Structure formats: structure tokens, C-alpha cells
Structure 1
């Protein structure tokens, strides 16, 4: 066992009936790392997370989580993990303090009053102490959920789309707190649909319909995609889009505001195709390939 890795699994597979949801997935996550887990709905992200924390048993594969075997020692993993589901799962008719006290009891923590008070102070929730959880905004509900799943000082956070439906400012605050926890040595595996959030992770993995398609740092994923991207500006972009998609060398054409991002493998061929299709008032130039363009490219040809 390599102690550098909080998660070290290989060949993990899970099926429900005749549908394989996770297929032979390998993953290593280092201690203190924020690891982003991306993919479309139904791709197997939640199933994989639940297998890691012992809520589901893999059909095949092996490995460790927090030094314990994911199959034979799942009960030893659970106390060391903070799990946050994508749907708010605390009690809406209990106050913030009552919810946290309930969780402290469930974790069998001693000195509950002190731990709860310190957690409320640390997460800046003091003014909501006696407010019903159900009346909180989406962002504060997620902050309460994060507070709850860190009460017992877990070594690993498994966060399943934690900011779905939360406004951008609240999402930024949430991620700032995750980075603060990572700086303290807590590892986080986070599933998300948001590309700007993915870019805040140390490393990333992309899973689609049970298969792991790519993994690495942001820079590695962009480099290994082999994509070159050009930005096209000017009039008539809507009319140019189908024409560009029909010419050689162009794999994708995506609207970004008042521009088109045109991507493919051969930068020279893209330039020639742009020159042949665009009008005299259009301008185009090379630009950086984004993570979103990489993932759109990964999904081309994939079917659920």
C-alpha cells in the first residue's frame, strides 16, 4: 500500500441488472488533493463515490480508501469520511444548531456543545444558529451541509455535486472553504458539472457512461487532447456555423458570446478552412483551448 494515496483503486466495476454503471475504473488520489470528478448525468460518478465510502459494494475490482480495503473493510472507512450528497439531506424543520447537534450525536462525538459552537463560528454561520435549516438560501444550506460533514474531522471529503443550483457567489465561497480544508491536509473528491469549478481542482477525471475517458491536471488534459482552437469574430456567425462544421479539419464549432470557438487537430487546416468560409468583415486568430472544449471533444461519438 502506497501511503501517499488516500484513494488507490483499480478495476472497480458496478452493474445494476444488465447495465454496467462503472466499468473497470482505476483511480489514485493523493493526500491533501482536490480531485474533480466530471461527467454527464448517469455517467457513474455517484455510484463510484458511494462505493468508495462503503455505501455500495463493487462487483469487481480492488483497492484501498484511507488505507482500508474497499470491500472487506468498508466499515472502517465510513467513520473517516465526510459524505455530502447532491440533494440537501439535513432536517428543514430543525435549526442550524439542532441539525449539527444531531449529527454530533450520530458521530458519537464527546463535547458536542463545544464542537458545534466552534463549527458554527468557523463556517461563519453564527447569525443563523437558531434559524430553521429549511428557510436558508441554497448557498447557506450547502455551507451547513459542509459544516455537518466535517464535524467529526474526516480525512476524506466525498462531495457529490455540492453546488448544484447555488448562485455563483455562494459557489465561490464554498470552494474557498474547500481549499482551506485541503490546506489542512483534508482530501476532497468532488463531482461537478461546472467547468469553472473543475479548473479549481488540482487534478481531474472525466467519466462517461461507466468509462474513464481522461484524467490529469488541467494543463495535461488540454495538452493531451491535441486540440487547437481559433476564435472567429464579426457578422453572420449563425450563418457561418453550419458551413464551418462541414469543412475539413474542424471538429467543433461553439458559440461563446459574440464569437465562435473553432477547434480541431490541425491548426493550419483550421486557418485555411476559416479563410475559405469567413467573410471580409470577419476576423479570426488562435486562442487557448478551454476545458469545456476538451470535454465536448471527449463526448463526441459517445452514446449513453
Structure 2
């Protein structure tokens, strides 16, 4: 279980996040929507341990996670909107670089694990710079999940992808949640928003639950 309490963050005199609190249980997909620049990426990067909040608490299965990088790495897989791949290296070399485990574990992952499920095994010899947007995203997700994390955090996973790639990512998100994982994502995509079990709106630094009965299309139109 992920419990976020009272997260606040200021940047250059501006309050980006104000007392952000929510809970995410196993088997849930939590969606956060909001306008560009509202603080969604800042919030996700704090949850992943990339940035520090000015105050607040992040507890995972009852344990305080802020400042405990080993716990965050073990429990959370974070896929930013911009992929971290090195374009000159092949997909295989990028996977080996980011994979959290031994070589044999990586090979097994490509044979029957998340790497195989996401189809990474089909383009291993291709330079990362020549991969499609969907292939880069799948490779980034597979590498992030190599640590067998319980919580998957995705920042705009379907952004700039074609319809087929969006559906492939969405299919994996659903299977991850069905298997008992927790997903937290930001999105402007109707399909991804529709797959969420709980939705929040982040506006003026405040995170609030969405109105009952509000459709994914209506949410997108508001932002």
C-alpha cells in the first residue's frame, strides 16, 4: 500500500504542491489529470525519490520511504515521460545497462518475464535511436520493472505514441493491475483515464478526487 500524506513543494517562490494526500492499494490504478505545468510530473518524481518535498510523508506498506532510496528502488518502478535510453546503444545494451539484476536474470526476463510480455525481445539488436516511440516506451517500462517493483509510476505513458503502441501499453497496465500491482499515472488519454479505478484532479497545487460520474472525455476537455 502507498500512503501519501501532506506533500508540499515550492519552487522559485511558487507553491507547486499543497498538502497532497492520497492512498493507493494493490490492484488499483490511480490516475492524475490536470493542465500542463500544474505539478503532475513534480509529484511523480517526488514519489519516485527523484526530488525531495519540502514536507510530507510517503509510506509504503507502513514504512516511511522518504530518504530511503533502497526501499524506493525496491518498491517503485518509475517511467518518466522522456525516456532515459542512450540512442547510440542497441536496445539490448540499454536493457543491460538499466536492468536491476544479474545477466542470467535478464536473459530469463527476456525469455518469459516482463521483457517478453512487452515484446522487447523482438528488437534487441536495433539501436535505441532507431526504435519507434512505442518500442522505446516498452523498453523503458521493462527496464524499470526489472526490480520486480510492486508500484509502477508512469508519466504520460501514451504521449506521442501511435494507436497500436498506446493499446499495447494500456494492455500491459491492465494486466499489471490485475496481477495485484499498483499503478499511478498521469495522462490526457481517454483510454488510460478510462482504465483507472480512481481519478484525481491536480489544480493550483491541490489534489482532489474527481466528481462522481464525470467521463474521461469530460475530464480531458476541462484540461
Aligned to 1:189, which of 163, 184, 191? 184
2:47–2:58 contact (8 Å) kept in structure 1: no
Whose RCO is larger (CA < 8 A, sep 6+)?
2
1:40–1:193 contact (8 Å) kept in structure 2: no
Mean CA deviation greater in 173-182 or 70-79: 70-79
CA distance in 1: counterparts of 2:19 and 2:44, whole angstroms: 14
SS of 1:151's equivalent in the other structure is helix
Note the residue ranges of structure 1 that are not aligned, 5 or more in a row. Answer: 1-5, 216-220, 224-288, 300-304
Alpha-carbon spacing, 1:86–1:152, altered in 2? closer, same or farther (3 Å): same
RMSD value over aligned CA atoms? 2.1
Deviation at 1:102, TM superposition (A): 1.3
Per-residue Cα deviation, 1:77-116 (whole angstroms, up to 9, x for no partner):
2222111010121111111211111122xx2436244234
1:222–1:294 contact (8 Å) kept in structure 2: no
Alpha-carbon spacing, 1:176–1:17, altered in 2? closer, same or farther (3 Å): same
Deviation at 1:142, TM superposition (A): 0.9
The equivalent of 1:291 in structure 2 is 216
Alpha-carbon spacing, 1:18–1:101, altered in 2? closer, same or farther (3 Å): same
Per-residue Cα deviation, 1:114-157 (whole angstroms, up to 9, x for no partner):
23433443322333121111111111111111111111211111
Aligned to 1:64, which of 59, 71, 75? 59
1:92–1:133 contact (8 Å) kept in structure 2: yes
Say if 2:108 is the partner of 1:115: yes
Q: Larger radius of gyration, structure 1 or 2?
A: 1
Deviation at 1:11, TM superposition (A): 1.3
Mean CA deviation greater in 24-33 or 52-61: 52-61
Say if 2:75 is the partner of 1:80: yes
CA distance in 1: counterparts of 2:91 and 2:186, whole angstroms: 25
Aligned residues: 221
The equivalent of 1:158 in structure 2 is 153
User: What TM-score does the superposition give when structure 2 sets the normalisation length?
Assistant: 0.89
CA distance in 1: counterparts of 2:167 and 2:148, whole angstroms: 23
The equivalent of 1:148 in structure 2 is 143
SS of 2:147's equivalent in the other structure is coil
CA distance in 2: counterparts of 1:31 and 1:186, whole angstroms: 5
User: What TM-score does the superposition give when structure 1 sets the normalisation length?
Assistant: 0.67
SS of 1:111's equivalent in the other structure is helix
Note the residue ranges of structure 2 that are not aligned, 5 or more in a row. Answer: none
